[in-house]
Amino acid sequence: MDLFKKCETYNKEYLQKVMDSGLYPYFHYLNSGQNTEVVMEGNRTIMIGSNNYLGLTSNPEVIKAGVEAIQKYGSGCSGSRFLNGTLDIHMELEKELAEFLHKEDVVTFSTGFQSNLGIISAIAGRNDYILCDKENHASIYDACRLSFAKMLRYNHSDMQDLERQLKTIPDTAGILIVTDGVFSMSGEICKLPEIVDLAKKYGARIMIDDAHGLGVLGEHGRGTAEHFGLENEVDIYMGTFSKSLASLGGYMATTKEVATYVRHNSRPFIFSASITPASVACARASLKLLRENPQMVKNLAEISNYMRSGLKAKGIKIIESTTPIIPIYTYEDEKAFLACKLLLERGVYVNPVISPATPKGQALLRTSYMATHTKEQMDEAIEKIAEVLKIINVL
């Protein structure tokens, strides 16, 4: 059989049908930078489908830092961190982030996806077990496969199921419980206090993917563990620079011993080119702004709550959370596609989430917010969302 046969037949009829109907919702392009309002395919659009939680991608200080880094260091590093690709600013970023997160050391990776691959594949081996929430990010699943450890999936945020599976693990095995801090599709926060209790009971280590938690949760924006007052109970933080820190890359924050081990044993770290100078500088500038202006975290919570209240006042069914991720039910996949199309025509961008990313019949519009959004923008978006949901017979 031809290896490429699957490419010829991959959802061909369905994709063509969606494209021909004008409902295909992916790969819309921007003519501007990421901001609360963008120019998308030539039209003014309120952006409520971005992970730019603190709104720093357009901040003048962040942009200036990136430009100056290119002027000083050039466009790239031309090698891995392990050899010729380490700049002094890589070291400074790791030091500053470790101080901010109250951890001994930080290792940076070229992307967030690669961070999970690099951490988990190095830490967990053939005789170890990984306990993975069923709604964890795809990068965690791929990392578990790469690690050769035995992966046990537990039902989403089901602590009874987690404990049931922990009981089956031999005393001689190493155990890693890994969970999203904030689940990217629903905006739900993991049950960290219960996870900490179970980890202590069964001798497990805890890793949190805080990609959507940094800059979002906690009084100072340090993430899920700060939110719960459990910063000393989490062994490894993973996070990204592509969301609140308005750049590109990822990191692991942990002890010096674990960081040193990963630096010398993580193939995705050793064999990948290091983060570009501009990305490092933008992440550092964003981190500096976050440290100096924790009010940004409060602003993000306030605008998210304002939007949440406004949607509920219109009778719109949402998934309840306290984060800037607010999913809105359309139930049917086709209605999610149609809602995205109609909203974009009205100048509002949202993301469709359909099966298998959600259970069949539970399709969503994933909306997300920035600390720099205005109430006027939110009011306009609420009215247009309500209008569209009435058109598709959801409201």
Q: Which of 50, 184, 186, 274 is catalytic?
A: 184
Q: Which of 227, 243, 335, 373 is catalytic?
A: 243
pLDDT, tens digit, 9 for 90 and up, residues 51-101: 999 999 999 999 999 999 999 999 999 999 999 999 999 999 999 999 999
Please tell me the predicted confidence (pLDDT) of residue 358: 85
Please tell me the predicted confidence (pLDDT) of residue 6: 86
Q: Kindly state which CATH superfamily the domain 5-30+294-391 is placed in.
A: Aspartate Aminotransferase, domain 1 (3.90.1150.10)
Residue 31, Cβ density class (10 Å: 0-12 exposed, 13-18 middle, ≥19 buried)? exposed
| Cβ atoms of 104 and 259 closer than 8 Å | yes
Question: Which residues, including other chains, have CB under 8 Å from residue 360's CB and lie 6 or more apart?
Answer: none
| Cβ atoms of 93 and 244 closer than 8 Å | no
Please tell me the predicted confidence (pLDDT) of residue 8: 81
Neighbours of 145 (CB within 10 A): 13
Q: In terms of Cα–Cα distance, which of 298, 344, 346 is closest to 324?
A: 298
- How big, in percent rounded to 5, are the helix, strand and coil portions of the chain? 45, 15, 40
**140-159 mean pLDDT:** 97
Q: Which of 103, 212, 335, 373 is catalytic?
A: 212
pLDDT, tens digit, 9 for 90 and up, residues 195-250: 999 999 999 999 999 999 999 999 999 999 999 999 999 999 999 999 999 999 99
Question: Which residues, including other chains, have CB under 8 Å from residue 375's CB and lie 6 or more apart?
Answer: 303, 306
Active-site residue 279, yes or no? no
pLDDT, tens digit, 9 for 90 and up, residues 316-360: 999 989 999 999 999 999 999 999 999 999 999 999 999 888 888
Spell out the domain ranges in the chain. 5-30+294-391, 60-292
Query: Does 5-30+294-391 match 60-292 in CATH topology?
Result: no
Q: What residue has token string 């909203």?
A: 343
pLDDT, tens digit, 9 for 90 and up, residues 290-306: 999 999 999 999 999 99
Active-site residue 243, yes or no? yes
* CATH number assigned to the domain covering 60-292: 3.40.640.10
pLDDT, tens digit, 9 for 90 and up, residues 348-381: 999 999 988 888 899 999 999 999 999 999 999 9
State percent of the chain over pLDDT 90: 93
State percent of the chain over pLDDT 70: 100
Mean pLDDT of the chain: 96
Reply yes or no: is the peptide bond before residue 356 cis, omega within 30 of 0: yes
pLDDT, tens digit, 9 for 90 and up, residues 226-237: 999 999 999 999
Query: pTM, whole model, 2 decimals?
Result: 0.96
**34-63 mean pLDDT:** 98
Please tell me the predicted confidence (pLDDT) of residue 57: 98
